[in-house]
Amino acid sequence: MHRRQLIQFFAGLGIAAGLASSAAFAQDKPIKIGATGGPHTQILEVVKKIAAKDGLNIQIVEFSDYVQPNAALAAGDLDANSYQHLPYLEAQIKDRGYKFANAGYTITFPMGVYSKKVKALKDLKAGARIGIPNDPTNGGRALLLLQAQGLLKLKADAGLQATPLDIADNPKKLKIVEIDAAQLPRSLDDLDAAAINGNYAESAGLDPTKDGIAIEAARGPYANVIAVRSADKDKPWVAKLLKAYRSPEVKQYIVSQFKSAVIPAW
């Protein structure tokens, strides 16, 4: 082999080695997934172990509120998040202009009504203070639950994002108090009752089937999803993540760990 050919040959080897090293780095780089504390994070810990068998390295980033996981995803600090139901995601996309996509359904947390003062909804007195989440999507969900229980009636066109202004009939003159969703369990001492999202209820040690004085239907429009940036939706790691999440091992963990408080939505 001539000298020039040898130089080209070894230069080619160097480029190939560099590309291989780069590919290995890209594969080893962790996929950062944001989640709120409690069940979402606990389930992702199991998903992480299953995904690792398929070569997917997951790093879980825990948040304490509903706003930051989407802001972090939009900023590129996360690759995905797993904490919100589809109506909330759609509202965030509409209100904030996020370029996000639903990568797949995960779990459902049935919303329940809890109280430290009454044992049944019928025992609520006139003018009772009822806490609901202060974000439009979950607030509307709470109002729909209260309507389903016969406590109030909403305007016919209120939809999923109903607000207290959409209350058409309120026989007991209930006072609706809008509070940050994560703070509702701590506010029970100051309220007569509160409609609390399942993940926050579970984190506070509340079981909807045992402690709730009302609970929404198990299967509804509020299934949680994995959100990714729209540009990433068809990337291979997204398919691997969804496959791991929907594995039999994860499903078994959800059923055994959370009983009816968390329901697989796939």
For residue range 207-256, what is the model confidence (pLDDT) as tens digits? 888 899 999 876 678 899 999 999 999 999 999 999 999 999 999 999 99
CB atoms under 10 Å from CB of 135, counted, come to 18
Range 112-119 average pLDDT: 97
Sign of torsion, CA 176 179 185 190?
negative
Identify whether 9 is part of a domain: no
Same domain, residue pair 116 and 202: yes
* Beta carbons within 8 Å of 92's beta carbon, 6+ residues apart: 70, 84, 98, 100
For residue range 66-108, what is the model confidence (pLDDT) as tens digits? 999 999 999 999 999 999 999 999 999 999 999 999 999 999 9
pLDDT at 161: 87
Q: What is the pTM of this model?
A: 0.73
For residue range 128-182, what is the model confidence (pLDDT) as tens digits? 999 999 998 899 999 999 999 999 999 999 999 899 999 999 999 999 999 999 9
Print burial letters for 7-25: b (CB count within 10 Å at least 16), e (below 16).
eeeeeeeeeeeeeeeeeee
pLDDT at 92: 95
H or E element at residue 167? strand 167-169
CATH number, residue 105: 3.40.190.10
pLDDT of 14 strictly over 90: no
Identify whether 12 is part of a domain: no
pLDDT of 201 strictly over 80: yes
Domain count, the chain: 2
Same domain, residue pair 36 and 89: yes
Identify whether 251 is part of a domain: yes
CA–CA dist 113, 94 (Å, integer): 28
Same domain, residue pair 105 and 229: yes
pLDDT at 7: 47
pLDDT at 45: 98
Same domain, residue pair 64 and 154: no
Q: In whole numbers, what is the pLDDT of the chain averaged over residues?
A: 90
* Beta carbons within 8 Å of 112's beta carbon, 6+ residues apart: 195, 196, 198, 201, 206, 208, 211, 212, 213, 214, 215, 216
Question: Roughly how many angstroms between the first and final C-alpha of the chain, as a whole number?
Answer: 60
* Unique residue bearing structure tokens 């006072």: 175
HSE-CB for 14 with a 13 A CA cutoff: 6
* Domain housing 211: 112-215
Same domain, residue pair 104 and 226: yes
Q: Which of the two residues, 259 and 170, has the higher pLDDT score?
A: 170
| Res. 4 pLDDT band, cuts 50 70 90 | low
CA–CA dist 254, 261 (Å, integer): 9
pLDDT at 137: 87
Identify whether 15 is part of a domain: no
Range 3-18 average pLDDT: 49
